[in-house]
Homo-oligomer: A and B are copies of this chain.
């Protein structure tokens, strides 16, 4: 009760600092580019020390690239019929989990994606971020009897399609929905492209 209150209050202060960092970084990145913006600038704009920046974000790119490994994805894939080929199972699983994607779309999501789409360094960081999800999918498929290489290819391929759609969404017109683009991308992987 007591320590719980402390924890809450302290967390509020930390959250505010984190939000200030995020605002300052997003603003600077959009005005002068990701690479041209230094952590020192971000810290100064946020009214903190560079050291404090790294206390809230492990790396500079972590401000834009978060790795929300979603257990729901692996779960949705496991729900698909086991007799399907790994690729098709993964594809249908991703489509099934697509409904939850809109939950990720906060107000700054599209701005962040647009920045990632423009910077090779950020795209690389994003690719590393999806590896956890890929690994989870692979383990799920393998545990259901798939060959490891087949499972790896299935996961890598489906996530590549989804990532391509995500990056395209970053610079797409405002009325374009992310779910629509992902669905369109995954449709190309369908065995019967009707």
Contact = CB atoms under 8 A, between A and B. Distances in A.
Interface in A67-85: 85
B164 A156 contact: yes
A189 to B, nearest CB: 7
Contact of A153 (B125, B127, B150, B188): B188
A164 B189 contact: no
Nearest to A87: B188
Contact of A150 (B120, B125, B188): B188
Interface string A154-193: 1011011101110010000000000001001100110111
Interface centre among A86, A150, A188 (most CB of B within 10 A): A188
Contact of A184 (B149, B160, B165): B149
A148 B172 CA distance: 12
Nearest to A184: B149
A152 interface: yes
Contacts of A189: 87, 157, 189
Contact of A168 (B149, B168, B184, B191): B149
A23 interface: no
A20 interface: no
A123 interface: yes
Interface in A55-107: 85-87
A128 to B, nearest CB: 5
Contacts of A165: 149, 153
A193 B85 contact: yes
A66 to B, nearest CB: 16
B154 A157 contact: no
Pairs of residues from A and B, 8 with the lowest C-beta to C-beta distance, nearest first: A160-B160, A124-B124, A156-B164, A156-B160, A153-B185, A127-B127, A153-B164, A152-B164
A131 interface: yes
